[in-house]
């Protein structure tokens, strides 16, 4: 299949950046990243600069493959990362726009690669529990209701890819932060520091320059791991408690 | 009290303010509609004037009208602040705009809010300012002033546009207010969403009906 790619080229955070057009021949079995690999090989052969993009696991678990394909983070397929998006979802002759995530808190490093370390700093302020857990316990040593375990596990599926921020017209990171908070706060081990954690992580989120959620819900639709808005509602409740509680 | 100001200037604190003032305005709209709809009762304005009289002489309503104006002002200012904060956080637009991942209204609340605000200015200039501030006429004459104003097709169109914008604003705002409050769960959310839809269709529709019906039935 023949494709025309309009790829965003930007030489560092301070460069203005622009779209550049490339023709590439791909086949339907390729993943989107493999298609970019093909393009890059050609560029290298032609002694041109290859397109810089972020990737690691290529199996949908690391969250590195951040890019916006035709206006959607991770492309048109729902619940799929770019690395797991295959070219059969495009048609011969398609023109595809590929650009980096656009958010103040995620500055472009080069071309399609953005700096998502703002997420790491949010995690550093509270994405852990402060007790030594020791060796693995026997299963069911701590009784946890199935329904609670499920909610926590659903939230734990977040791979920190940042698609939620990229999709959000407000550049908000609430879906990500709420996923991390629900993951830990719902379980007995994490509950002890629930309010403190909530407060710290949200505080950091704001300092990093992420926007304020207005419940548009594009994050939920674009999230490759199907993290739900209900996590944000729960996070808000914890945040209200952490702000209004008499003591903690 | 620094915790309170910290909270109120935080992203979620601001959202809470938007949500609470929004819900307050939603309740107000119902009361406003109850009175206005009486204009359509064919009794030469007797019921409507009675309602206005009851409201004017009620001290609770007097206090509430100040709270109401505060509610509007806070909702508007907070909305403007959030708009600029978020535009700064976004930092750029995509070449292709995805349309199927959110409702149009949810992405255009600031635009809709601005149209409603412009409508409100016209609306206040029409009735509130001449009657309450300039005291050009008493509330007994309000019915005739309303009928007279809606003889003008331009006003009728402006009011209908205002109400369409209100409908879209509410279609997102109603359920969004509950999500912000943290009320999102399997038990209540389906009901809240349906109620929000019904509210945002029926209430603006009834409001818009008033100028249209007056215009059509009171032609000289
Ligand atoms: S919530 Fe979803 S979109 Fe956001 S970082 Fe986690 S996995 Fe990615
Ligand atoms: S490369 Fe790891 S999720 Fe795509």
pLDDT digits (tens, 9 = 90+) for B167-216: 999 999 999 999 999 999 888 999 999 999 999 999 999 999 999 999 99
pLDDT at B32: 94
Q: What's the pTM? A: 0.94
Give the span between the Cα atoms of A15 and B59, in whole angstroms: 62
Is B101 in CB contact (< 8 Å) with chain A?
yes
Confirm if A95 and A138 have CB atoms less than 8 A apart: no
pLDDT at B155: 92
Residue B127 has pLDDT above 90, yes or no: no
Confirm if B196 and B183 have CB atoms less than 8 A apart: no
Residue A226 CA: nearest ligand 1 atom is: 2
Mean pLDDT within A75-82: 97
Q: What would the two tokens of residue A181 be?
A: 């908070």
pLDDT band at B123 (very low <50, low <70, confident <90, very high): very high
Rg (CA), chain A: 20
Which residue shows structure tokens 């995620």? A106
Residue-wise pLDDT for B65-86, tens only, equals: 899 999 999 999 999 999 999 9
Instruction: Find the A45 Cα to ligand 2 centroid distance in Å.
Output: 26
Give the span between the Cα atoms of B51 and B45, in whole angstroms: 10
Q: What would the two tokens of residue B115 be?
A: 């149209």
Q: Is A210 in the pocket of ligand 1 (CB under 6 A)?
A: no
Q: Is A163 in the pocket of ligand 2 (CB under 6 A)?
A: no
Mutate to test the interface with B, among A20, A200, A215, A240 (most CBs of B within 10 A): A215
Question: Is the four-CA dihedral A86, A87, A91, A95 of positive or negative sign?
Answer: positive
Protein residue closest via CA to atom 2 of ligand 1: A223
The phi, psi pair for B95, rounded to 5°, reads -65, -40
Q: What would the two tokens of residue B49 be?
A: 């004037």
Give the span between the Cα atoms of B42 and B46, in whole angstroms: 9
- Beta-bridged to residue A47, according to DSSP, are none
Residues in chain A: 248
Instruction: Find the B100 Cα to ligand 2 centroid distance in Å.
Output: 24
Cβ contact, residue pair B91, A170, below 8 Å: no
Q: Is A55 in the pocket of ligand 2 (CB under 6 A)?
A: yes
SS3 A24: strand
To the nearest whole Å, the CA of A132 is away from the closest chain B CA by: 32
Domains of chain A (ranges; CATH) run 2-109 (3.10.20.30), 116-132+139-244 (1.10.1060.10)
- Beta-bridged to residue A3, according to DSSP, are A24
Pick from B6, B16, B180: CB nearest A215? B180
pLDDT at B128: 82
Is B62 in CB contact (< 8 Å) with chain A?
no
Protein residue closest via CA to atom 8 of ligand 1: A161
Q: What is the mean pLDDT of chain B?
A: 93
Domains of chain B (ranges; CATH) run 2-217 (1.20.1300.10)
């Amino acid at each position: 299949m023949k494709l025309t790619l309009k790829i965003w080229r930007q030489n560092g955070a301070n460069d203005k950046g622009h779209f550049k057009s490339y023709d590439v021949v791909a086949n339907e079995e390729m993943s989107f990243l493999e298609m970019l690999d093909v393009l890059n090989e050609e560029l290298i052969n032609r002694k041109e600069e290859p397109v810089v993009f972020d990737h690691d696991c290529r199996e949908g678990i690391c969250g590195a493959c951040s890019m916006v394909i035709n206006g959607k983070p991770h492309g048109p397929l729902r619940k799929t990362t770019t690395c797991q998006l295959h070219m059969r979802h495009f048609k011969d002759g398609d023109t595809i726009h590929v650009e980096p995530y656009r958010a103040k808190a995620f500055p472009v490093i080069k071309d399609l690669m953005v700096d998502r370390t703002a997420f790491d700093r949010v995690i550093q302020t509270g994405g852990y529990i402060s007790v030594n857990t020791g060796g693995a316990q026997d299963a069911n040593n701590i009784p946890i209701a199935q329904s609670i375990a499920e909610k926590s596990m659903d939230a734990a599926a977040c791979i920190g890819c940042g698609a939620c921020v990229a999709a959000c017209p407000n550049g908000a990171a609430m879906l990500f932060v709420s996923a991390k908070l629900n993951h830990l706060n719902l379980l007995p081990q994490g509950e002890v520091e629930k309010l403190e954690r909530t407060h710290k992580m949200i505080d950091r989120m704001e300092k990093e320059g992420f926007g304020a959620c207005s419940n548009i819900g594009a994050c939920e639709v674009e999230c490759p791991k199907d993290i739900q808005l209900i996590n944000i509602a729960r996070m808000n409740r914890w945040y209200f408690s952490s702000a209004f509680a008499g003591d903690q | 009290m620094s915790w309170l100001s910290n909270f109120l200037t935080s992203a979620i604190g601001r959202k809470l303010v938007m949500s609470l003032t929004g819900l307050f305005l939603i309740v107000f709209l119902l009361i406003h509609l109850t009175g206005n709809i009486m204009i359509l009762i064919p009794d030469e304005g007797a019921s409507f004037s009675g309602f206005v009289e009851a409201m004017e002489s009620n001290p609770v309503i007097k206090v509430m009208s100040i709270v109401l104006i505060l509610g509007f002002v806070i909702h508007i200012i907070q909305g403007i602040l959030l708009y600029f904060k978020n535009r700064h956080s976004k930092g750029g637009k995509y070449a292709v705009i995805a349309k199927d991942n959110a409702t149009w209204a949810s992405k255009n609340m600031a635009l809709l809010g601005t149209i409603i605000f412009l409508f409100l200015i016209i609306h206040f200039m029409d009735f509130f300012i001449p009657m309450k501030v300039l005291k050009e006429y008493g509330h007994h004459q309000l019915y005739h002033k309303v009928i007279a104003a809606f003889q003008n097709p331009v006003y009728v169109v402006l009011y209908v546009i205002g109400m369409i914008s209100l409908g879209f604003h509410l279609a997102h705002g109603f359920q969004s207010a509950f999500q912000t409050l943290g009320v999102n769960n399997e038990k209540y959310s389906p009901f809240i969403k349906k109620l929000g839809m019904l509210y945002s269709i029926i209430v603006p529709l009834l409001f818009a009906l008033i100028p249209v019906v007056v215009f059509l039935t009171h032609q000289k």
